A and B are shown apart, each in its own frame.
Chain A
Amino acid sequence: MLVWSRPGRIVLWVLFALLFGVLFLAPLAVILLSSLADQWNGVLPRGLTTEHYSDVISGAAGDSVKASLITGFLASALALVSGTWAALSLRLQGPSLKRLLGLLFFIPSAVPSVSVGLGLLVAFSHPPLLLNGTVAIVLIAHFVLISAFTFGNVSAGLARLSPDFEQVASSLGAKPTYRLWHVTLPLLAPYLVAAFGLSFALSMGELGATVMVYPPGWVTLPVSIFSLTDRGDIFAGAALTMILVVATLALLLGLERITARATGT
Chain B
Amino acid sequence: MSEAVAAAAPGVRREPGKFWIVPPAALLTLLFFYPLALIARQAFLDDSGVANAAEVISVLHSRFFLNALINTVTISVAATAGCLIVGLVLALILAFVPFPGSGFIARLIDTFIALPTFLVTLAFTFLYGSAGMLNAGLMEAFSLPLPPVDFLYSTWGVVLAEVTVYTPFILRPLLAAFSLVDRGQIEAASVLGARPFRIVRQVIMPAAIPALIAGGSLCLLLTVNEFGIVLFIGAKGVITLPLLIYSKAIQESAYQVACIIAVINVALSLGLFGLYRLAAGRLGA
Contacts and interface: CB of A to CB of B under 8 A. Distances in A.
Contact of A107 (B25, B117, B131, B273): B273
Contacts of B232: 226, 229
Interface in A13-31: 13, 15-16, 19-20, 23-24, 26-28, 30-31
Contacts of A226: 118, 231-232
A241 interface: yes
Contacts of A101: 21, 25
Interface stretch (A57-65, A114-122, A161-169, A257-265): A114-122
Contacts of B111: 249, 252
Contacts of B94: 16
Contacts of A24: 108-109, 112, 164
Nearest to B265: A112
Interface stretch (A48-56, A184-192, A206-214): A206-214
B23 A122 contact: no
Contacts of A130: none
Interface in A125-175: 140, 143-144, 147, 175
B97 A112 contact: no
Given A43-B137, A92-B21, A208 B242 contact: yes
Contacts of B86: 19, 23
B116 A30 contact: no
Interface of B: 2, 15-18, 20-21, 23-25, 27-28, 31-36, 38-39, 42, 86, 89-90, 92-94, 96-99, 105, 108-109, 111-112, 114-120, 122-127, 131, 133, 136-137, 140, 163-164, 167, 186-187, 190, 196, 199-200, 221, 224-225, 227-228, 231-232, 234, 241-243, 245-246, 249-250, 255, 258-259, 262, 265-266, 269-270, 272-273, 276-277
Given A114-B243, A207-B231, 6 more contacts: A24-B164, A27-B120, A43-B137, A104-B33, A110-B272, A114-B246
